[in-house]
Amino acid sequence: MRVLLIGANGYLGRHVADRLLADPAVQLTALGRGDDADVRFDLSTGSPGALTRFLDAVHPGVVVNCAGTTRGGARDLIRHNTVATATVCESLRRSGCGARLVHLGCAAEYGPSPAGSSTGEDAVPRPGSPYGVSKLAASELVLGSGLDAIVLRVFSPVGPGTPTGSPLGRLAEAMRRVMQQGEGELRLAGLSVQRDFVDVRDVARAVHAAALSAAQGVVNIGSGRAVRLREVVSVLGRVAGHTGAVHEMDEQHSAGGGPQVPPYPDGCGPWQQADVRSARDRLGWRPRIGLEESLADIWMEAACRI
């Protein structure tokens, strides 16, 4: 099976590449902006015609779109998330390869949900951030493209390679810093937020399963359990050996008295939990890696950082 992976250099893309390369039946080609991609191509500026010519030459059976960005202003988010996806869809429509499209969406497309609820794929998306809007627009382009396509709405990915600028990456770095400096107390804000964490390697397994399946539409990828950030701090402290106190600051102020940046500025409010029954029933997928293992991997990388 020939697979074209777009965005192989990103956090999710690297793990998807590893998973696909482990399948001897897969012939993988990576397309991206980095020097280590098999083919260099910038979706945000490249033309659909150029990508169509490449698709016709490679003739993949599956295209996996992991490209995108979580940072930047509205213009950057639209260009790298929405316009880039429009280029992929238009190129596939023009191409004669007939490839199946596996597109990675995100839980920010749903926006806030009631505490205690599980968000199913039939929920009406109401994104509460520019990022969520840009990702929802991309997913809608995929769903309305007429292609053989599936959108995997990934909830909060964790595990090895977690970006240092992400909420859990910042948390691990803060813990490393206080332990390195011999400070006992860790001061944090926003610990009441609850998110559905799923290991990035389980996400990669879901992509692999989606590539092999005939399922279409939207499928949630999460653990099916919301975890309070306070519990995440406790588990991370245990695996790190942090014995100091954790002091929860007022959410409006940091330790220095200035405004506190929310730990999850994704526009999803205090609660989010996935209903993952469709992933089980339609893809034969279940999460395998527990949160403690994911956090241990995050800590290992943070502890080795100089």
DSSP 37-58: SSEE--TTTS-HHHHHHHHHHH
Rounded alpha-carbon distances, angstroms, from residue 161 to 82, 158, 177, 298? 25, 8, 19, 7
Q: What pLDDT shows up at residue 190?
A: 85
The pLDDT tens digits for 243-279 are: 889 988 865 554 444 334 446 779 999 999 999 999 9
Contact 266/134 with Cβ under 8 angstroms? no
The pLDDT tens digits for 155-181 are: 999 999 999 989 999 999 999 999 988
DSSP 256: T
Q: What pLDDT shows up at residue 264?
A: 72
Contact 91/56 with Cβ under 8 angstroms? no
Q: What is the mean pLDDT of the chain?
A: 93
Token pair in block for residue 48:
């659909």
Q: What pLDDT shows up at residue 263?
A: 60
Contact 224/77 with Cβ under 8 angstroms? no
- Asked whether residue 149 carries a pLDDT value surpassing 50, the answer given is yes
Threshold 0.75, pTM exceeds = yes
Q: What pLDDT shows up at residue 255?
A: 45
Q: What pLDDT shows up at residue 36?
A: 80
Q: Which of 20-29, 113-122, 250-259 has the lowest mean pLDDT?
A: 250-259
Q: What pLDDT shows up at residue 28?
A: 98
Q: Which amino acid is at 62?
A: V
Contact 147/85 with Cβ under 8 angstroms? no
